[in-house]
Amino acid sequence: MLFDAIVIGGSFAGLEAATYIARGLRSVCVIDAGEPRNRFAAHSHGYLSRDGSPPAEILEAARLQLLAYPTVELIRGTAERARPTSDGFTVQMSDGSEISGRRLVLACGISDQLPDVPGLAERWGKTVNHCPYCHGFEFSGQSLGVLHTTDLSEHQARIIREWGPTTYFLNGHQLEGPTAAELQSLGITLVSERVAGIAGEGTQIDGIQLEDDRIVPIEALYIGPTYRLNSHIPDQLGCAIDAGPLGPIVRVDELRATTVPRVFAAGDIVRAMHAITLAAADGMMAGTAVHRSLIMGT
């Protein structure tokens, strides 16, 4: 079967794109590896009408609603490669099977590259988080920490202090004098020593352990990790990819069209700021643009 569109990625951006393609009475196949970026978080916040819901619960409801459209097929698996054909594109799966479609939507998402700090990975999405707007209210008024990962961590420390008293763990990074003085004037405590690990039972944080064995008490930690794209397909197809502040960004126009004809992209791979609301909005734009492209033959 030649689908009107193939969507690679079945999280918020991909499912939204597929929904609008299906509502345009077109056939669409969604390929989903089943590893959304926010799978580590127990609850999602800020998404209208679903504030506090588990991300997996929101996605499952979206999949069920999408599959109610008769022109939709959802395949669980990993897309390994994509190549252009005379009719559009053929996507090769990890099991060797192939799927063909006239248009392609890349919504493969990203993976965070966490610092190598003992105890951090198992707390990711729980007491170690990235975005205070998504996971700050629940820790408001508590002792908070920011771990230096990039130069943007200074900005993150300025933001996090709005939710509670903040300690900025420089982890051996050196701040210029004026910057250090400014942060301290805002009430941010600076700790220059290198971090040895996170103290606490389970996912709880009792404090940050330094190399000299001191423990600085905090209850939640924020980091701004770098990230990578989950798929090499944008690069395989020759899509222009720009260097973002924390990782690569697939270049798109206002309709979420990439630099490769008939290839669209949506979600975390096309922007520096990430949230499920933004991902869903990108998916809506990409889905309607795909439909118009099919109508116009462009």
Instruction: Reply yes or no on whether the pLDDT at 117 is more than 90.
Output: yes
Note whether 22 and 98 are same-domain residues. yes
Distance of CA 246 to the CA centre of its chain: 11
Instruction: Reply yes or no on whether the pLDDT at 251 is more than 90.
Output: yes
Q: Which 3 state secondary structure label does DSSP give 267?
A: coil
Maximal CA-CA distance, the chain: 66
Domain endpoint, select from 222, 253, 277: 222
Domain endpoint, select from 190, 222, 254: 222
Note whether 81 and 49 are same-domain residues. yes
Domain endpoint, select from 158, 189, 222: 222
Instruction: Reply yes or no on whether the pLDDT at 214 is more than 90.
Output: yes
Note whether 7 and 85 are same-domain residues. yes
Note whether 97 and 34 are same-domain residues. yes
Nearest residue to 129 (alpha-carbon basis) of 274, 263, 233 = 274
Confidence of residue 67 (pLDDT cuts 50, 70, 90): very high
Let me know: does 165 contact 187? Beta carbons within 8 Å: yes
> Global pTM?
0.95
Instruction: Reply yes or no on whether the pLDDT at 143 is more than 90.
Output: yes
Note whether 143 and 287 are same-domain residues. no
Angstrom distance (rounded) from CA 290 to CA 296: 10
Angstrom distance (rounded) from CA 298 to CA 295: 8
Range of the structural domain that residue 43 is part of: 2-112+226-296
Note whether 217 and 151 are same-domain residues. yes
To the nearest whole number, what is the mean pLDDT of the chain?
97
pLDDT of residue 1: 86
pLDDT of residue 144: 98
For residues 111-120, average pLDDT: 97
Domain at 194, CATH number: 3.50.50.60
Let me know: does 82 contact 35? Beta carbons within 8 Å: no
Note whether 212 and 233 are same-domain residues. no
Q: How many domains does the chain have?
A: 2
Nearest residue to 198 (alpha-carbon basis) of 141, 88, 114 = 114
| 154 Cβ contact list (under 8 Å, min separation 6) | 168, 175, 179, 183
Note whether 66 and 36 are same-domain residues. yes
Instruction: Reply yes or no on whether the pLDDT at 164 is more than 90.
Output: yes
pLDDT of residue 253: 98
Note whether 34 and 124 are same-domain residues. no
Tokens 């050196």 label which residue?
174
Note whether 196 and 241 are same-domain residues. no
Note whether 6 and 86 are same-domain residues. yes
Tokens 């996912």 label which residue?
203
Note whether 92 and 130 are same-domain residues. no
Indicate the burial class of 146 (C-beta count within 10 angstroms; 0-12, 13-18, 19 or more): buried
Q: Rounded to the nearest 5°, which phi and psi values hold at 169? A: -90, 105
Confidence of residue 182 (pLDDT cuts 50, 70, 90): very high
Distance of CA 103 to the CA centre of its chain: 23
